Structure 1
Amino acid sequence: MADGARYSRALILGASVVSMAAALPGSGLAQTADQQSARATSTPKQAKRKPSKPQADQQVAARAMDAHAQASTTSVQSLDTITVAASKTEERAIDALAPVSVVTLEKIQGLQPNRLSDIFYNVPGVSFQERGDDPSTVINVRGLQDFGRVAVVVDGARQNYQRTGHNANGSFFLDPELVGGVDVVRGPTANIYGSGAIGGVVSFRTKDIEDVLRPGERWGVDMSGSYGTNKDRGLGSVFGGVRATPDVDVFGGAVYRTQGNYKDGSGTEIGNTGNQITSGLMKLTVRPAAGHEVKFGAIFQDDQYNIGQFNRGPVLTAAQRALYQGSSVYASDAKNYTGTITWNYSRPDDRLFDWHMSVYGNRTDNDQTKTYHYSTGGTAFCGAGVYGNNISGCVGDKRGYVLDTIGIDANNTTRFDVGDWRNALTWGLDAFQDDVGTTDSRGNSNITTPSGIRNVSGGFLQLKQNYGTWFEAVSALRYDHYDLHSGSTDAGGDRVSPKITLGVTPVAGFTPYVSYAEGYRAPSITETVISGAHATGGGPAFFTCPDGSIGLFCFLPNPNLRPEIGKNKEAGVNLKYDGIFSAVDSFRGKFNVFRNDVDGYIDLVASTRVATPYGSYSQYYQYQNIAHARIEGFEAETMYDAGAWFVGVSGHLIRGKNTATNIGLATITPRKVVTTAGVRLLDRALTISAQWASFGANNDVPAGYLPSTGYELVNLYLTYQATKDITFTASIDNLLNQYYRPYAIPGSSTDGTTQNDVLFSSPGPGAVYKAGLKIHLGGA
């Protein structure tokens, strides 16, 4: 408790010192016209997604210049980046009346990320529950994850893949080298993005031609390579594009990444953390008429890895099995395909239409072959009296998980004035279908991840109003509907969810706001229809299930499962000042407090334990609506940039409980405080920065969970622009070589011991040294 209070004060003090420095008497607090509130100064015509052709060329040139400006000279004020994530209308993140964060391409390139989670250290409210032996990404926003509670979209395409096991129930595959930028909206403030986003929205943009071509270039190529220790982390990538005509762009890229098994901070090698990842993308952009842009996009990824853990010692006794026993190992080949077609229309002289439509399809196909079985030392081939394992079969047996998602998203903004009120009316429609197919030749996967189809659709109407330079109101209503079908089970529901946000700017640079928003998450197929016995794994069967199968315990379906309703209350303040102590310095800060009350929170609930000849165990497990879950906290994101140096503090304090039991939620990361500081040298050709990330342990967890560890990560980064075409990068991750487990580990549902395949694979890597080189070629 004392430790938590100490670090709480550290976060508040660190953020307060930076913000108070910006507001000292005598500091100019000079704002340029461009740095006034975007909603107060820009006319409706300026907030356009795709202007007419001459202005579009200027914007392309500006984005290209930003993308290729020296990393040491670009601003670290990512909150100045234009985003549409909060309201689907363009505004700077610092001006959005919502908890919005942006990760820019410049930041990503300086970090040399090995996993997607590496780029989110500075984003408050965001954490990850990843396994070292699985390269997929699991995003947790404000303690909410699993089954689509966080809406993840890549170029507008939803990523809904889910596989139930000893892992998070919801993940996706995306190599960070493909990413051109990320927008994060925390909480159901962004309910306009569709059903499910009671935790928030994470929207990825993949690289495009504007990220490679420089002003005046007709074609360009970026080639990158890097190497890292712990162990043999290699990366090679190439991205290139050409403007075939002023109205046609062609862009593409390919990435290859590989690594061996890494060691954690204690020096233990983590099994099966090596992998090989191949990915690529293609984009064709056509501008058939003034203001119109049609983009065809395709992304392909192939992740090859082994998931599961070997034994770590003798397993002859119950104590040894609890301590050392591993799990079955599967050679995995996960292929992810995403195809998108987007149509944008926008012209400064057209206030009736600012149109966006996206049609997409996504397939995740994960084929797995069993290669090792713990109880027989890796020789569990079928035949000659060897029957394998009834959870996962024999060595050589195959299983597969396929999820196909198709969807459409369309919206339009009409702008009009009524007296001194400037109005933007946005309407939208969206729908997607998830088609889950699971095959398992001998194991239990058909039970734990059932097949089925789920259809989700909805629409919204939003009115954004500005009065003068000092008042803004955003009000919205969203309608959601879903239905799902699996076997003989049918379920469905619908709801209208409101949102209202009010903000004022009494003095330039200071904007407080309040917001209330509701979100609606439809139950997933697994939560609704999972049914049958959990196989014994070769041990004794404890129970007979209603369908006649026998196993350790019985999953019960719940066709009456209700959707979750998130009701989020938020208050925040945006701070934006320039020319504070000098003509070139700037300060940006976003602070907010929130409370998200989730009615009907869905969790896996065990029945009362009953006596068996083998001990006392729960016979039934079922996904149920618990009465209430409450998640509340404080978030801050600040940055002061003096030109020659910069410093910022960001992070969160969060707690979450099942209010029916007063027990904490296992998915909470209670404290994250990240301090970033750096200097620019050699006429700003060289940038050196350091990052200290302090995480608190989650000790308030349900019975049977092993708490996460508290830990401190120190990372160092260097970027050197040797010439205008050659950039050298170097970094050290986890400089102190600290051992850490970032999330709580679930226990076994039967004997209470830790699920060792998760325990063994959850520690993060120890110290990693990386160096990289990027070369640009281009011409007219």
Structure 2
Amino acid sequence: MSMQYPLLRFAILAALSMSAQAASTDDTSVPKEIETVKVQGEQLKHPITLISPGKSTLELDDIQREQAHNIGELVMKMPGVSLDGGARPGSERINVWGFSHPSALSIRVDGAPVGFQQYRYGSFFLDPQLLRSVHLIKGDHNVRASLGAFAGSFVMETKEATDFLDPDSSIGAMAQAGFNSVNHQWKRSVTTYGASDSGWSVLLHGSRRDADDIELGNGDVFTFSGYRQHSLLGKVRYQSDAHNMMFSHTRYDDQGRKPWANRRGAMPSVTPYKIKKYGSYDAALYAASVDNHYREYTSTLNYHYQPYNDYIDTRGFNCEVQHSRLQPDITC
């Protein structure tokens, strides 16, 4: 009996080897035809713009297509950028790679640094309808950014007359109007622009937004979210031969009743004690809010001289005079 087990093992191994050889020589395991895969594509009508990682750009067509209500809503279309804040105007903060504190971001409009810091309030006020381009450099990689802006830097440029004029035109005007049913907002704007053969161009733009409180999806009203906004842009540019000069002035005016902490969500509940304390429900609700009035003025004067010389390059040097002022007016 002890001799039968090795013989049995040898017989099993021989049978497995013969079956493996038969399977390897079977023609059915080899495909008779190679499947054909067809790939169809469409040629792009515009060239592809390649940029380095960490950079994003919004051009004039992108800004006009989005029709954003505020800067935060516009730039959140960029990768790595989100909106940190509520639905009330003046409560938005821009979040880049997880950083939203104003000191971690550098924001410039036509070269002038802008920004605002106050507890539980937004950090940036500007009508996105005034812009022609937005460039974002994520991280601390911009030598012109403010010290400590390790989250990123935004470089924004306002509109110019050449953005609207046809090649054979020297003057023009445009009017726009819009309505949003969610907060009964009316938006109106007028733009006039002109350019001469001598190198001068001028643009004047004014817009106004009037909105009531936002109506939520469940039918409730988002209290103290209405506002009145006025924006103004004036821009003059002279470009001739080696000289390039630009003067721009922007004004932003926002007024509306807001909570003490503007970035909060729903208003605090009104208790019977507060009603008794202030005399009525409306008075108790008003006690948790303030009448905010923001006025921001930004003026920039840039001059750039670039001679026609192969050995002189002044593209990295601009003469800039900047002035930005934010005047908040908070009334209880």
Map 1:413-428 onto structure 2 (within 5 A). Answer: none
Amino acid at match of 1:117: G
2:94 equivalent in structure 1: 139
TM-superposition CA deviations, 1:369-389 (whole Å, max 9, x none) = 10xxxxxxxxxxxxxxxxxxx
Structure with more relative contact order (C-alpha pairs < 8 Å, separation 6 or more):
1
Distance change in 2, residues 1:128/1:281 (3 Å):
same
Q: Distance in 2 between matches of 1:194 and 1:350?
A: 32
1:190 equivalent in structure 2: 142
The alpha-carbon deviation at position 108 of structure 1 amounts to 1.8
In structure 2, the gaps of 5 or more residues are 1-36, 260-265, 275-283
Q: Distance in 2 between matches of 1:74 and 1:261?
A: 43
Matched position secondary structure for 1:190: coil
Q: Distance in 2 between matches of 1:95 and 1:114?
A: 27
TM-superposition CA deviations, 1:518-572 (whole Å, max 9, x none) = xxxxxxxxxxxxxxxxxxxxxxxxxxxxxxxxxxxxxxxxxxxxxxxxxxxxxxx
Distance change in 2, residues 1:124/1:277 (3 Å):
same
* Stretches of 4+ aligned residues off by more than 4 angstroms: 24-30
The alpha-carbon deviation at position 205 of structure 1 amounts to 1.2
Q: Distance in 1 between matches of 2:72 and 2:291?
A: 23
1:259 equivalent in structure 2: 211
TM-score, length-normalised on structure 1? 0.33
Q: Percent identity?
A: 23
The alpha-carbon deviation at position 191 of structure 1 amounts to 4.1
Q: Distance in 2 between matches of 1:136 and 1:177?
A: 19
Distance change in 2, residues 1:28/1:256 (3 Å):
closer
Map 1:164-563 onto structure 2 (within 5 A). Answer: 164=119, 167=120, 171-287=123-239, 289-308=240-259, 311-314=268-271, 328-346=288-306, 349-353=309-313, 354=315, 355-370=317-332
The alpha-carbon deviation at position 115 of structure 1 amounts to 2.3
In structure 1, the gaps of 5 or more residues are 1-23, 31-72, 81-93, 318-324, 371-780
Distance change in 2, residues 1:28/1:272 (3 Å):
closer
The alpha-carbon deviation at position 315 of structure 1 amounts to 5.7
The alpha-carbon deviation at position 158 of structure 1 amounts to 0.8
- Point out the structure with the larger strand share: 1
Matched position secondary structure for 1:210: helix
TM-score, length-normalised on structure 2? 0.75
Tell me if the contact between 2:107 and 2:113 (Cα under 8 Å) persists in the aligned partners: yes
Tell me if the contact between 2:71 and 2:125 (Cα under 8 Å) persists in the aligned partners: no
Q: Distance in 2 between matches of 1:210 and 1:153?
A: 21
**Paired residue for 1:103, among 43, 58, 79?**
58
Distance change in 2, residues 1:150/1:336 (3 Å):
same
Matched position secondary structure for 1:272: coil
Amino acid at match of 1:339: S
Q: Distance in 2 between matches of 1:127 and 1:95?
A: 21
Q: Distance in 2 between matches of 1:235 and 1:139?
A: 23
Amino acid at match of 1:280: L
Q: Distance in 2 between matches of 1:131 and 1:315?
A: 28
The alpha-carbon deviation at position 245 of structure 1 amounts to 4.2
1:472 equivalent in structure 2: none
TM-superposition CA deviations, 1:9-35 (whole Å, max 9, x none) = xxxxxxxxxxxxxxx9988999xxxxx
Aligned length, in residue pairs? 278
- Point out the structure with the larger helix share: 2
1:119 equivalent in structure 2: 74
Distance change in 2, residues 1:266/1:29 (3 Å):
closer
Tell me if the contact between 2:188 and 2:208 (Cα under 8 Å) persists in the aligned partners: yes
Matched position secondary structure for 1:107: helix
The alpha-carbon deviation at position 264 of structure 1 amounts to 2.5
TM-superposition CA deviations, 1:98-138 (whole Å, max 9, x none) = 31111122122222222222223431111122233333542
Tell me if the contact between 1:212 and 1:239 (Cα under 8 Å) persists in the aligned partners: no
TM-superposition CA deviations, 1:694-732 (whole Å, max 9, x none) = xxxxxxxxxxxxxxxxxxxxxxxxxxxxxxxxxxxxxxx
Tell me if the contact between 1:136 and 1:172 (Cα under 8 Å) persists in the aligned partners: no
Tell me if the contact between 1:244 and 1:250 (Cα under 8 Å) persists in the aligned partners: no
Matched position secondary structure for 1:307: strand
Tell me if the contact between 2:73 and 2:83 (Cα under 8 Å) persists in the aligned partners: no
Tell me if the contact between 1:133 and 1:271 (Cα under 8 Å) persists in the aligned partners: no
TM-superposition CA deviations, 1:318-345 (whole Å, max 9, x none) = xxxxxxx976211111000000001123
